Structure 1
Amino acid sequence: MEDRLKILVVDDDPLIRELIQVYLEEEFLVIHAENGSKAIEKVQTDEPSLVLLDIMLPVINGLEVCKQIRTFCQVPIIMVSAKGEEIDKVLGLELGAEDYITKPFSPRELLARVKAQIRRSLIGGEGGANKGFSDSMSRGKRIPDDTLDLPGLHINFIKYQVLLDELEVELTAKEFDLLAFLTRNRGQVFTREQLLNKVWGFDYVGDTRAVDSAIKRLRKKINHEEKNYIFIHTVRGIGYRFEVPNQ
């Protein structure tokens, strides 16, 4: 029991929590929170490996919970929405969630999404409080050098550390994976579908909005227009490209 990865299920409906536990308990240790405030507390105290986070929550709604979690922790988050409205999905991704799923969902789909995020979740550390690297990059696709130094930007691929003007930048595991892939392929243009396949993996069950949201978050964290640190560029009608400033 104790050796299993821990999943935090956040939902105000006890029947939903119990149902999800039935779906997942054969492979994961499932813990619960019934409102947004307790969810934040549980992430801090129990350090789960993944959070299944309902959007419609009492006390603090799921979107705000996601936002607050991202201020101190990079644990993978899958947003759960009963409404299925696009705005909820987009907001969740922009706030740092890795994926979303709409109620009602099948046990097979839920398990597939959880496993997909767990496979890409944090490695080399304890629980969900450390940054990591996706399995797609750890299976033989090693970065040729341990570090990369660009104007204003330093990346340590062993420590999963990014410095902007010598200040550490907090990235989610997926944001780090995306940045690592783009920096390894500087100057090349990639479509959203290509990035989805290369970084998220062919078994990812979401859509290309996940790419747009991750790019948007990454830009906010590493682009610095005042110093002309514009690393990630949009190629209209195609996708995205990483360029080294002034080169």
Structure 2
Amino acid sequence: MNKDTVLIVDDEWNMRQLLKIHLSPHFHIKQAGSGKEALSCLEREEVDLIILDIMMPEMNGWEVCEKVRARSEVPILMLTARGDVKDKVQGLSIGADDYLVKPYIPEELVARSKALIRRSLQSSSGNTEEETIEISDLKVNRSERQIFVDDSEVEVTPKEFDLLELLALNPKTIFTRDMLLDQIWGINGIRDIRTIDTHVKNLREKIRKKGLSFNPIRTVWGRGYKFQAPDENE
């Protein structure tokens, strides 16, 4: 099976090599040491994801992002030491798809990269994921935004529904609390990671009271949460 191609754009050689170490087991890697080199590479070849540093000489990441977005919908992940919300908003407003702050957790970088490529492929092919997710006695009706255990509806809040839906759609992904905050509450939303723990606790309790045969949310200690299928329950 051919690997998806990721273009790493960073003016620091050491950083490019570190990213390559973390990503090469999962992707085919191309590198560019400047914005101009990146644009030249994109003229010659197709890539599935761009990981783009912001603070580069001559042409910074924001400029590169704008030029890429003017001609392509390839996913762009901004990777930078700048963690201010206003910088994240600027990157996303000019066309970046995601934003990760250095120092990063390698597993989170890989997970975000895979998620961006997956969403891009689904969008370009016109495929839509199933309207209803059914796993054992758990049913998630996406169009009606309802959760059922057998035929009994679980009364959940909108954010609780979003949380379970996201985990169920990405069963192999470990989501850090920051990832969940970004994807469910948004870049300008609440940033207290305890919010995630509270929602997970409440959702688990509501589902447990309905008699679900398995615990669908697994805590991955020191990392975050992931979906847990019935045969994965301890």
> CA separation of 1:141/1:211 partners in 2, compared to 1, >3 Å: closer, same or farther?
farther
CA distance in 2, matches of 1:45, 1:121: 20
Q: If the length of structure 1 is used for normalisation, what is the TM-score?
A: 0.55
* Aligned match of 1:32: 31
Pair 1:209-2:186 in alignment: yes
Kept in 1, the 8 Å contact 2:85–2:187? The answer is no
> CA separation of 1:13/1:197 partners in 2, compared to 1, >3 Å: closer, same or farther?
farther
* Aligned match of 1:141: 131
* Aligned match of 1:18: 17
Query: How does 1:19-168 map onto structure 2 within 5 Å?
Result: 19-122=18-121, 132=124, 138-141=128-131
CA distance in 1, matches of 2:93, 2:75: 14
CA distance in 2, matches of 1:40, 1:196: 37
> CA separation of 1:116/1:89 partners in 2, compared to 1, >3 Å: closer, same or farther?
same
Structure 1 residue 83: deviation in Å? 2.0
CA distance in 1, matches of 2:68, 2:159: 27
CA distance in 2, matches of 1:194, 1:38: 43
CA distance in 2, matches of 1:101, 1:17: 15
Say what the alpha-carbon RMSD is for the aligned residues: 3.2
Kept in 2, the 8 Å contact 1:98–1:210? The answer is no
Q: Number of paired residues?
A: 158
CA distance in 1, matches of 2:163, 2:51: 21
- Give the secondary-structure state (helix, strand or coil) at the position aligned to 1:67: helix
Kept in 2, the 8 Å contact 1:9–1:30? The answer is yes
CA distance in 1, matches of 2:70, 2:55: 21
Structure 1 residue 196: deviation in Å? 8.4
Provide Cα deviations, 1:49-100, integer angstroms capped at 9, x if missing partner.
0000011112211011111111100000000111212121111111111110
> CA separation of 1:78/1:209 partners in 2, compared to 1, >3 Å: closer, same or farther?
same
Q: Which runs of 5+ in 2 are unaligned?
A: 133-141, 145-157, 190-234
The one-letter code of the counterpart of 1:77 is I
- Give the secondary-structure state (helix, strand or coil) at the position aligned to 1:97: coil
Q: Which has the higher helix share?
A: 2
> CA separation of 1:63/1:194 partners in 2, compared to 1, >3 Å: closer, same or farther?
farther
Q: Which runs of 5+ in 1 are unaligned?
A: 124-130, 143-180, 186-190, 213-247
CA distance in 2, matches of 1:197, 1:81: 30
Structure 1 residue 133: deviation in Å? 5.6
Q: Greater Rg, structure 1 or structure 2?
A: 2
Structure 1 residue 139: deviation in Å? 3.0
Provide Cα deviations, 1:133-188, integer angstroms capped at 9, x if missing partner.
68xx633339xxxxxxxxxxxxxxxxxxxxxxxxxxxxxxxxxxxxxx9xx89xxx
Provide Cα deviations, 1:113-137, integer angstroms capped at 9, x if missing partner.
11111221235xxxxxxx6268xx6
